[in-house]
Amino acid sequence: MAHDINKLWEQDKAHFIHPFTDFSVFEKEGCDIITESRGEYVFDGKGNKYLDGIAGLWCVNIGHGRREMGQAMAEQAERMAYYSPFNNLSNVPAIELSAKLAELAPSNLNHVFYSCGGSVANDTTVRIVHYYFNQLGQKDKKIIISRKNGYHGTTYVSSSLTGIESNNWGFDTADQFVHHVAEANCYRRPDGMTEAQYCDYLVEDFESSIRQLGGADKVAAFIAEPIMGAGGVLVAPEGYHRRMYDVCKKHGMLYIADEVVTAFGRLGHFFASEAVFGIQPDVINCAKGLTSGYIPLGATLLSDEIYAVISKPQREGAVFSTGFTYSGHPVACAAALKNIEIMERENICGNVRDVGPYLEQQLKTLLDLPIVGDVRGSHFMMCIESVADKATKALLPMEANVGKRIAEQCQKRGLIVRPIAHLNVLSPPLIWSRETVDLVVGILRQSILATVESLI
């Protein structure tokens, strides 16, 4: 379908408030209007085709333009698009999806609460955690420990959990019950520390923060992404999550895994917490890959222990008064069921386990380039960090805008990667083959070299 791109751009500028956008740059430079998408590719309205290196926004895990997904949603919309999930009303896709998620998740997580995305899932989790401890009579146990540079969303509470400082510039946060501890950044760990010593240091710092905050009486939970995503694709040292989990248990705290990015195959498993990191969290939140971004859906998976407490009325006749009009939306749940069916049928997690290590290995060949300081991540969740000096790890000046320059060079060559300051993130659809990886790494090499030349 032909579009009047200039007219669309004028309307966009006049009326569509884009998330996370520098409006001064946006108004000057315009934007790319993506009009179609198929498999590994997206197309703009000007006839350009791009390899999608970021799966939309870490979410289009099964790839773009799957007819079956459209059909599943259309059939459900025709059969029964919506009905209330409140009280004793239910719907078939929400029931079937809940049972399927309980089957795929670690064995203690058998109860699902639905929202429309990751931020709301995290926000709701805090509400449920507070309710849970209130029910147990531990009414002062309210503090949630999160990590600096963690990303958990932008609703009021989830933005407070988010530890990326610049994200909250100009906004207020719920500081009274959120505390941030250091993130695990192996590349920029203190000089002279081994990874094992760094892990000890982080775990001790965590435990000492718990004590300073009042210990088990005050601290309710810890929230962490298995691999920190938007904060720079930071992989924690070996054993870190297990040890943080053990500290939580020692202090009667809940462990919340924010798997909004890592669930649904990005690390080669439906859920990473147990399969990759060996822990059974009390809560897992997911969104994005749950429907591969075909329609919004978030899910909070709660343990049997939490459910046993929150499912008891606070007083005679009282209800669990939290939820949304669209909790367990039938069309979204039908999309999630079809998405999972496709992932299982095509063994998409198997593809990630097979091609992921190749992607890591090939991206690491870029470390010979003069500004590539670090290549890190795991499987289909990768990142390149550019530096001015590899020995000191000093950054290029902010004005150099190196991440953006590399992304622009890639885009000229038909590849979309995501710039975050001096970083470039790759989080592709989970259907990439080795051939696609070779193509992508070739484009990245040329683009980084062109950027180096432009910096001289």
Residue number, 236 or 369, with CB nearest to ligand PLP: 236
**Residues of span 288-347 touching ligand PLP by CB under 6 A:** none
For 2, residues 6+ apart whose C-beta sits below 8 A from its C-beta are: none
**Is 45 in a helix, a strand, or coil?**
coil
Among 129, 223, 253, 287, binds ligand PLP (CB under 6 A): 287
Residue number, 19 or 317, with CB nearest to ligand PLP: 19
Q: Residue 183 interacts with ligand PLP (CB under 6 A)?
A: no
CB of 406 to ligand PLP, least distance (A): 21
Among 91, 119, 146, 149, binds ligand PLP (CB under 6 A): 119
Q: Residue 152 interacts with ligand PLP (CB under 6 A)?
A: yes
**Is 67 in a helix, a strand, or coil?**
helix
Question: Up-side HSE of residue 227: CA atoms within 13 Å toward CB?
Answer: 24
Residue number, 9 or 324, with CB nearest to ligand PLP: 324
Query: Greatest CA separation found in the chain?
Result: 73
Among 45, 53, 56, 117, binds ligand PLP (CB under 6 A): 117
**Residues of span 238-267 touching ligand PLP by CB under 6 A:** 258, 260-261
Say if CB 89 and CB 75 are below 8 A apart: no
Q: Residue 230 interacts with ligand PLP (CB under 6 A)?
A: yes
Residue number, 421 or 452, with CB nearest to ligand PLP: 421
* Nearest residue to the partner ligand PLP, using Cβ: 118
Instruction: Give the integer Cα–Cα distance in Å for 31 and 28.
Output: 9
CB of 77 to ligand PLP, least distance (A): 22
Instruction: Give the integer Cα–Cα distance in Å for 244 and 236.
Output: 11
Tell me how many residues contact ligand PLP (CB under 6 A).
14
Element (H or E) spanning 110, and its range? Answer: strand 109-115
Neighbouring C-beta atoms of residue 49, cutoff 10 Å: 11
Say if CB 402 and CB 439 are below 8 A apart: no
CB of 109 to ligand PLP, least distance (A): 17
Stretch that binds ligand PLP, among 114-122, 170-178, 384-392, 441-449 (CB under 6 A): 114-122
> Residue 171 carries which side chain, given as an amino acid letter?
F
Instruction: Give the integer Cα–Cα distance in Å for 214 and 142.
Output: 11
Q: Residue 225 interacts with ligand PLP (CB under 6 A)?
A: yes
Instruction: Give the integer Cα–Cα distance in Å for 69 and 337.
Output: 10
Stretch that binds ligand PLP, among 224-232, 248-256, 318-326, 365-373 (CB under 6 A): 224-232
Neighbouring C-beta atoms of residue 238, cutoff 10 Å: 12
What is the token pair recorded at 86? 């409140």
Q: Which residues bind ligand PLP (CB under 6 A)?
A: 117-119, 122, 151-153, 225, 229-230, 258, 260-261, 287
